[in-house]
Amino acid sequence: MSSVSFEYYRDVYGGECGESEFSAVIETAQDAVSELVGGTGISDASGDAARAVCLEVDYLTKMNKNASPDGRGAVRESLGDYSVTYGASGGAMRACGVPVSPEAVLCLRRAGLFSRWV
């Protein structure tokens, strides 16, 4: 899978985490997205696959920031009166044992990149 650079994440995608946070999760994010598309890797480093990786970077960064002392993370997202919380023990899909951003899954599905076996 082609690597998504910090510059792409920040300048094109518009990501907000810092370079050290990005560096801490990028490899895991890329591995998870690669697994979601069938484990064969992706050559598209600037389209939907790259966006899915960036969404996964944001998701993992949020989980790391919200991790409790026992290592369990939770992410809460809200829009108006609607909110949803994804915890480490349930609610989130996993790839390679890593919780996966629902937005990344949706991005891959819309692009026709999501593997049917997942």
Confidence (pLDDT) at 69: 43
What is the structure's pLDDT at 14? 95
Instruction: Determine the Cα–Cα distance for residues 109 and 113; give it in Å rounded to an integer.
Output: 6
CA 83 to chain centre: 19
What whole-number distance in Å separates Cα of residue 4 and Cα of residue 104?
14
Residue 35 parent element (H or E): helix 19-36
Looking at residue 87, its pLDDT comes to: 56
DSSP code at position 46: S
Residue whose token pair is 């949020």 = 62
**pLDDT per position in the chain (118 positions), as tens?**
457 999 999 999 999 999 999 999 999 999 888 888 876 666 555 588 899 999 999 999 988 776 544 445 556 667 777 766 665 545 568 887 888 888 998 998 888 888 755 4
> Could you tell me the residue ranges of all domains in the chain?
6-110
Query: Global pTM?
Result: 0.74
